[in-house]
Amino acid sequence: MAERPLHEKFISLYSCKRSIVFVSFSCVSWIKEFMETYNTVFVEGTAAQMFQLAAELEQWTAILPHYWKMDVTEKSEAHKVASFGAWRTFDFGLFRLRFPCKWRARQELFADENRITFKHIGGITKGMWVEWRIVETEKGVNVTIYHELSYPVPILGAWFANAVVGKLFVSPIANRTLATFKQRIEGVS
């Protein structure tokens, strides 16, 4: 049997006659075994502008205030390998907490498709797949960052990937990245 793509895999938990701690309205409960997030923004600019900003990792610490580290260790025309560091800021009203996030990833550039992919090869997000999709429209560009991560630990791994990694860290950092790139492009357009 052919291996299904990661985004099509699901863990099935049979709760009939089993003492599994899941509330189910049927005999079978389906739980995603991976985390996926989509962060999207519309930018009044061109696909070329967005692609250039996203592709030039060496400039990220100068452009993105929440990125504190970007060390490119390998580079060719079509790919880069880099160590990333970004702050995830938690705002608690009277005080803020900045949590340092670090990872290592391989970036692949597909300029003819306006697409950039990242494969995380180090850090707590090792194995995460990231894809930037840049789609030009008549009035600007739709930019989506898609993240997919699967932890090999059944049940708890999926919960941790979704509730902690995806919702608390990945999505807020991606939103801030897109918002900053949007401001930069629209400010110079």
CATH number at residue 173: 3.30.530.20
Confidence grade of residue 154 (pLDDT, cut at 50, 70, 90): low
Digit-coded pLDDT (tens) for 62-73: 999 999 999 999
- Give percent of the chain above pLDDT 90: 63
Tokens of 135: 């789609």
Average pLDDT, the chain: 83
In a domain, 24, yes or no: no
Query: Which residues neighbour 167 within 8 Å (Cβ) at sequence distance 6 or greater?
Result: 37
More confident residue, 89 or 163: 89
Residue 99 has pLDDT above 60, yes or no: yes
In a domain, 125, yes or no: yes
More confident residue, 75 or 156: 75
Give rounded-to-5 percent helix, strand, coil for the chain: 30, 45, 30
Structurally, the chain folds into a number of domains equal to 1
In a domain, 23, yes or no: no
User: What is the distance between the alpha carbons of residues 31 and 11, in angstroms, rounded to a whole number?
Assistant: 6
CB 80 within 8 A of CB 106: yes
169 closest CA partner among 64, 50, 35 = 35
In a domain, 9, yes or no: no
Where in the sequence is the domain holding 57, given as residue range(s)?
33-188
Helix, strand or coil, per DSSP, at residue 47: helix
In a domain, 21, yes or no: no
In a domain, 14, yes or no: no
**pTM of the predicted model as reported, rounded to 2 decimal places:** 0.79
In a domain, 2, yes or no: no
User: What is the distance between the alpha carbons of residues 135 and 164, in angstroms, rounded to a whole number?
Assistant: 29
In a domain, 22, yes or no: no
Q: What is the pLDDT of residue 12?
A: 31
Q: What is the pLDDT of residue 14?
A: 30
Q: What is the DSSP string of 14-29?
A: E-TTS--S---SSSEE
Confidence grade of residue 34 (pLDDT, cut at 50, 70, 90): confident
